[in-house]
Structure 1
Amino acid sequence: MSTEPNGEPSQGAPQPKEQSSKSIQPPKGEKTGTAETPNALSGEKKLSGAELKKKAKEEKAAKRALAKASKEVAKGEAAVSSSPGQLGPSAGEVKGNKKGKQDATATAGSGAGGRPTPNRATPSMVAEQKATIPECFSHLPMAKRLPMTQADKSVHPAVLALGQQMATFTIDESINRLRATLLAFKRVIASYSTPAGHTLARHFTPHVLGPQIDYLTSCRPMCFSMGNAIRWLKLQISKIDMDSKEEDAKRDLCRAIDNFITERITAADEVITESGAKHIENGDVVLVYGRSSLVERTLLCAYSFGTNFSVFVIDDPYERAGQLLAKTLAAEGIKVTYCGDFGGLINHMRHATKVLFAADAMFSNGAMYARAGACDVALAANELEKEVITLCETINITERVATDSLTYNEIDPERCSAEAFRLLFDTTPVKYLNALITELGCVASKSAPILLRKLEEFN
């Protein structure tokens, strides 16, 4: 290496960025003592061309290895950020553990003795997941498939299976989620034994029912009907006589759950279906959005009454659930026109006579909480002065109030990235809705508070 007169290395000479793992052997015939060993940094001796070439090759190999390692770490982090529900160490952490590196990330993902802690998210992964959602939407929850090993040890196997089904949207509609939840809680009650020195009324809710609810909520946020039913169940538990036998109390609770399912879900759906079918007349052209089991049964019931009508199905372009509805109706002999997106909405709306919705929930101010896109359909119907009818069980009515789609909503876990994300629901203002059909009758949509007062008197 050439040096300046003052002994400092010249700027034109190559500077090694890091020491190579291989030691540089001195030229043949030279002593290896400390005083006579060449020192490139101090400039005591100039390196030969062969040595410079060898050092450049080693530096190039080190840079190549560093770039390859950086690529693998970036690839692993991208995989984690693209799958927010996936837990476990990232590719960078696995690579670090293989090399024996003890950095902060590897420490967070490893247990005592260097053993990896199974199914635990590291702080870096949590930060990456939060970074994918803008801060103004950080209050909105998102379903995630949690490993069963993260659940509390007191969570019942039936609830564990239900949580996985909800997280993967195998059970999707709010009323179906409610029914499945109550049936799972019934199995929890049947397998419960009161510990010595405790009573069922005081021990069951905080120590047994609480962990079940927490696990289901962590898998997917509860719908409004689930919240209403859980409050009802807690009230029934609190009414249990302290002196009653455990078997009698458990039998009464299971019987109360069966009656609740029969009256508030099964019978309610039958009444709503028949009442909605009577609102469909001969010659009607009914426009529906997506697929709902309640809307499907209403249309089939109207057809069984001998009513001659046709249906326009406007589908959700992301889920395509309306395809199944169109096939089912067509198989029964109903004339169906299918549109896979909103491209033909206005044209079909001009020919429609009424619009039929099934609400996931109704707020106390009359607003409808339904599948994302329902508000667009209702707005188009209002512009063209078409009647909009909403079907909803009273268990789905909540005392809460919403005027927008950002107060209560969910983020679609399948379509969530750093660039964009999709909301699963939207809120339709009451001014775009005409009639609300429940098991208590047909009322104006703004009369939801009246139905709530009737339910409080009934309870």
Structure 2
Amino acid sequence: MSTEQNGASVEAVPKPVETPKDAPKETPKETATKQNDKASKDSKAGADAKSDKAEPKSTDAAGDKKLTGAELKAKAKAEKAARRAQQKTSKDVAKGEAAVSSSPGQLGPSAGEVKAKGKGKDGASAGAAAAGRPVLLKAPPSAVVTEQKIQIPECFSHLSMARRIPMTQADKDVHPSVLMLGQQMATFTIDESITRLKATLLAFRKVIESYITPPGNVLARHFTPHVLNIQIEYLTACRPMCFSMGNAIRWLKLQVSKIDMDASEEQAKKELCQAIDIFIAERITVADEYITEQGAKHIKDGDVVLTYGRNTLVEKAILYAHSAGTKFSVLVLDDPYERLGQQLAKTLTDEGIKVTYSGDFGGLRNHMRQATKVFFAAEAMFSNGAMYARAGTCDVAMLAHELGKKVIALCETINITERVATDSLTYNEIDPERSSAAAFRLMFDTTPDKYISLLVTELGSVQARSAPDLLRKLEEFN
């Protein structure tokens, strides 16, 4: 029996049992005998209870003895990492759901990420409830349902998708400049392949400048596996690397391996930084200037230049032709999803160029009949001459070829890859902002070489199928 006092449970004190008057009185000897029997029973019961409690411990101890010291250490480390990941995931999921609910244009996660986030949130809620803390909903239920519907079919599971990785989940050895770059690439603040390449090399330059070789190591052997690879893994997790980044990273690793083993750390770092500066100047800055000049030469008086979306290289070529005094007009056909062509049309109009803008493919055939030349900028060129560019480029190029229009592609040689592609499904990215259970959008497409009239690079103007020849020239120069 218990009573409540000030919200706490208190056991009631039992009343003493009165002995009937007629009950026979026990002798002192009988009383002592009963007390001894009771004490022996209590001690036996206590011993049994202690043995029961000690039994699991002995079992656990026996189980622990089977594990070696290294295994126990690895097990403890894994449990600790799991607890940390669970705590971080619960916080980040709440932030991500709130962002999705407030802005539909935010990046969506991949299918595997949605499952992992759902599990992390459930575990965090259960942990908070067990600790006696209130569980707060960071976003309305509708946002959670929307995220869980993003599922990529298994046949497209080989395609990657950009995702925003919280800085708290990045490896502790990732450099701050690389952390910032990863966030910019994941949110498409830095989008074009050549822009991403330049930003990546500049970030790696800062990594080299801040690098200190540990005692007993040399830069040529320690830097790549223990420092550079960590930066690359983080950037790749934020967004799949473009082909130019892959080419430049292989080049950088080669430069690191060539460093003299006896060279001082300061000398080695200075040589690497100078090599990166020269690479950016020759393969990006000077290359863009030459391609701009050569591309502008193909624009003549009276031409109607049609371009798709917005690319910095095409924009520079058009502005250079205009500054040279060429009289022409531009027809900007925009991507109905990205709407980047609006900025290009505004820039050209401000420079005094006559511009016609079309927001979608509705009047594509009529616009193509008016055009005399079509300009594209490639994200990459495959070894078989196929062009990798923004989704929709292939449709425009096919119609231009059908109507007999000249199609000119501008591309730096750093964007040329030895790989081969015959379709748009081998290499591509999934648009994270426009993915749902019903459908998803691919960000790029592949245009066969037969639809491209001319490829303009810093090594000259060639047919698209001659891209492998340019690679051989680069090998000779190197």
Does the alignment reach a TM-score above 0.5?
A: yes
Distance in 2 separating the partners of 1:151 and 1:440:
40
The one of 351, 374, 377 equivalent to 1:355 is 374
Task: Please point out which of 228, 239, 251 is paired with 1:209.
Answer: 228
Match of 2:168 in 1: 149
Alignment of 1:266-345 (within 5 A): 266-345=285-364
Where does residue 468 of structure 2 map in the other structure?
A: 449
Q: 2:178–2:231: 8 Å Cα contact kept in structure 1?
A: yes
What pairs up with 1:44-123 in 2 under 5 angstroms?
83-84=108-109, 88=117, 92-93=122-123, 95-100=125-130
Aligned-CA RMSD value: 2.4
Compared with structure 1, are the counterparts of its residues 388 and 148 closer, same or farther at alpha carbon in structure 2 (3 Å cutoff)? same
Question: Distance in 1 between the 2:466 and 2:108 partners?
Answer: 43
Question: Aligned with 1:418: secondary structure?
Answer: coil
Query: Which runs of 5 or more structure 2 residues have no equivalent in the other structure?
Result: 1-96, 102-106, 136-143
For each residue in 1:391-443, what CA deviation from the matched residue of structure 2 results, as whole angstroms up to 9, or x when unmatched?
A: 00000000000000000000000011111110000000011001000001111
Alignment of 1:176-195 (within 5 A): 176-195=195-214
Structure 1: distance between partners of 2:225 and 2:379: 28
For residues 189 and 335 of structure 1, do their structure 2 counterparts lie closer, same or farther at Cα, with a shift above 3 Å needed?
same
What is the CA–CA distance in structure 1 between the aligned matches of 2:318 and 2:459, rounded to whole Å?
Answer: 20
Partner of 2:47: none
Cα distance in 2 for residues equivalent to 1:452 and 1:350? 36
Deviations 1:107-152, CA, capped at 9 Å, x for gaps: xxxxxx99x9xxxxxxxx9xx8797000110100000000112211
Question: In the alignment, does 2:412 pair up with 1:387?
Answer: no
Letter in 2 for 1:273: T
Deviation digits for residues 300-327 of structure 1 (CA, Å, limit 9, x no counterpart): 0000111001110000000100000001
Which residue type is aligned with residue 314 of structure 2?
Answer: V
- Does the CA-based 8 Å contact 1:411-1:424 persist in structure 2? yes
- Alpha-carbon distance in structure 2 between the residues aligned to 1:95 and 1:148: 23
Normalised TM-score (structure 1): 0.75
Tell me if structure 1 keeps the 8 A contact 2:410–2:455. yes
- Which residue is equivalent to 2:442? 423
Q: Which residue of 2 aligns with 1:7?
A: none
Specify which structure has the higher proportion of helix: 2
For residues 381 and 240 of structure 1, do their structure 2 counterparts lie closer, same or farther at Cα, with a shift above 3 Å needed?
same
Q: TM-score normalised to the size of structure 2? A: 0.72
Q: What is the alpha-carbon distance in structure 2 between the residues aligned to residue 456 and residue 424 of structure 1? A: 31
Q: Which amino acid in structure 2 is aligned with residue 295 of structure 1?
A: V
Q: Distance in 2 between matches of 1:130 and 1:369?
A: 29
Q: Which residue type is aligned with residue 84 of structure 1?
A: P
Say whether residues 1:198 and 2:198 are aligned partners: no
Report the 3-state secondary structure (helix = DSSP H, G, I; strand = E; otherwise coil) of the residue aligned with 1:214.
helix
> Bigger radius of gyration, 1 or 2?
2
Kindly indicate whether the alpha-carbon contact (under 8 Å) linking 1:130 and 1:138 is maintained by their aligned counterparts in 2.
no
Distance 2:452 2:181 in 1: 34
* Distance (whole Å) between structure 2 residues aligned to residue 227 and residue 92 of structure 1: 38
**Contact 2:149–2:436, Cα closer than 8 Å, also in 1:** no
Q: Distance in 2 between matches of 1:94 and 1:213?
A: 31
Q: Which residue of 2 aligns with 1:237?
A: 256
* CA distance in structure 2 between the partners assigned to 1:406 and 1:321 by the alignment: 24
Question: Offset of 1:362 from its aligned partner?
Answer: 0.2
Q: Return closer, same or farther for 1:96/1:195 CA change in 2, 3 Å cut-off.
A: closer
* Deviation at residue 100 of structure 1 after TM alignment: 3.5
Distance 2:150 2:388 in 1: 28
Shift of 1:83: 3.8
Q: 1:327 to 1:139 in 2, by over 3 A?
A: same
Residue 97 of structure 1 deviates from its aligned partner by 4.2
Specify the SS of the correspondent of 2:363. Answer: helix
Q: 1:174 to 1:83 in 2, by over 3 A?
A: closer
Q: Which amino acid aligns with 2:235?
A: L
Q: Does 1:439 align with 2:458?
A: yes
Asked if structure 2 preserves the Cα contact closer than 8 Å seen for 1:84 and 1:129, the reply is no
Deviates more, 1:180-189 or 1:142-151: 142-151
Task: Write the deviation string for residues 25-58 of structure 1: whole angstroms up to 9, x where unpaired.
Answer: xxxxxxxxxxxxxxxxxxxxxxxxxxxxxxxxxx
Deviation at 1:375, TM superposition (A): 0.3
1:214 aligned partner, one-letter code: E
**2:272 alignment counterpart:** 253
